[in-house]
A and B are shown apart, each in its own frame.
Chain A
Amino acid sequence: MSAAYVTKSPWVVHYDGSSCNGCDIEVLACLTPMYDVERFGIINCGNPKHADVFLVTGSVNEQNKGIVKQIYDQMPEPKVVVAVGICACSGGIFKDCYNVMGGVDQVIPVDAYVPGCAARPEAIIDAVVKGLGVLQAKRDAMVAAGDAPAEAPAEEAAPEAAEEAVTEEKKTPAVPPIFTMAEIKVNTMDHLKK
């Protein structure tokens, strides 16, 4: 592969899961003249089909897991996912809610985690810029596989790059779920019956 254009124009699509809106405002703050992410060619394009970077704020719940998955599937390779805020990393303060499944990585593979409540704009920009390493690795894998939509090779190539790229290394949720989903449903129903 010749020039590394994939890293020079990361277009972003932003989805708000069950966030409290704190992290969303920080994501938008990155676009303001104060931080001006367009310096790096980053554009908030609002269209998954044009996007390279998927910014998710807030946790995934039973209602939006399909939407998160669909946005991810609509994005053409190479693509990276950045989980913004501790809610998107692990569920955060909403972790124990009956409908919250946990971090974004419960539904789609995440390449960079931005901790913080709310995540700072600097940290978000840092994560996107670090995610570019993953983007490049995925593109290289695509080229190696003959420019095909390289689903499998991309998965293999990503982890090494992702390892050093993640803002906070975090492969499994720090705290294991207290209840399984089935138990939670049962408990909730019991509570309602009483």
Chain B
Amino acid sequence: MIIKSIIGIVAFLVLGPFVGGLLAGLDRKLSAKMQRRVGPPVLQPFYDVGKLFQKEKQTPTRFQDFYVLLFVIFVIASGVLFFMGGDLLLVIFTLTIGAAFLIIAAYSSNSPYAEVGAERELLAMLAYEPMVLITVIGFYMYTGSFRVSDILAGDSMPFLPLLGIFFGWLFILTLKFRKSPFDLSMSHHAHQELVRGVTTEFVGRTMGWVEISHWYENVFLLGFVFLFFANGTALGWIIGIVVAILTYFFEVFIDNCFARMKWQFAFKSAWVIAVVLGMINLFVLYICF
């Protein structure tokens, strides 16, 4: 048990950024191919972060970098809790605290662009949070435990009984990955009405750390997708990993097919999805299990 937890933690801490960075590189390559471009090398995200760490130190306020540090710590901590087989409730609360520190960091810079980004990030958080909670409750109602290790050890796949919740989770993943149509708070592309939203004032290595924690966060969010298929057998593991990777590329596809929507749409649609798919699924679980 403890050995498994330690393996999970070390694997996440060491492999997390590599997998996350590689996925980000494949994302850019694939997006380029969809637009009939050659695109950057697959390792480009690593070059970018390497470059960011070679830039001059610069910060608008000394508090900003402290908040960013807390953001990095809490995001990594939530992933660690998840991959050591910890409590899902604890995991999502830690992740929420991390997201809150990113917003506070953006506010602390007093930059108008960062502030608008922070406000939109806050709205995005309000939009996805109900579905996150419903997902966790769904896992609990089906497997009888909030612990990741217990869910992994369960003998049947939670995918079919949690079908509605799975699609609800897919929907909010777009919000969490900050992909179009919901890249409200910051964009990876040059939609420039916000400059770079929340990350506008992060310079050099501060931005580098934010990028690295996004890689960690992405791996951890895909871990949730994996959890829907895990049933303690090798087949479950393989299906889970394959679906998690497919999910990521599905998000890239969506990203390339849509323009950015207004926050009102993001908010309404996320809540409607949470109520329709999430609550009905929970109700069915309540009746049947």
Question: Which residues of A come within 8 Å of B, CB atoms?
Answer: 1, 3, 5-6, 8-9, 31, 33, 36, 38-41, 43-47, 49-50, 52, 76-78, 139, 142, 149
Contacts and interface: CB of A to CB of B under 8 A. Distances in A.
B51 A33 contact: no
A78 B203 CA distance: 12
Interface in B15-56: 28, 32, 35-41, 44, 47-48, 50-51, 53-56
B150 to A, nearest CB: 43
B47 A9 contact: yes
- Report whether over half of chain A's contact residues are helix, strand or loop; otherwise say mixed: loop
A38 B32 contact: yes
B47 to A, nearest CB: 4
Given A41-B40, A46-B192, A46-B195, A149 B57 contact: yes
7 contacts: A36-B32, A36-B37, A41-B41, A41-B48, A46-B195, A49-B202, A78-B56
Interface centre among B36, B40, B204 (most CB of A within 10 A): B40
B58 interface: yes
Interface residues of B, number: 31
A8 B47 contact: yes
A45 B190 CA distance: 6
Contacts of B40: 38-41
Nearest to A5: B50
Contacts of A44: 190
A69 to B, nearest CB: 17
Contacts of B54: 1, 5-6, 78, 139, 142
B200 interface: yes
B47 A47 contact: no
B48 A9 contact: yes
Interface string B188-199: 001010011001
B201 interface: yes
A139 to B, nearest CB: 6
B207 interface: yes
Contact of B55 (A3, A31, A41, A77): A77
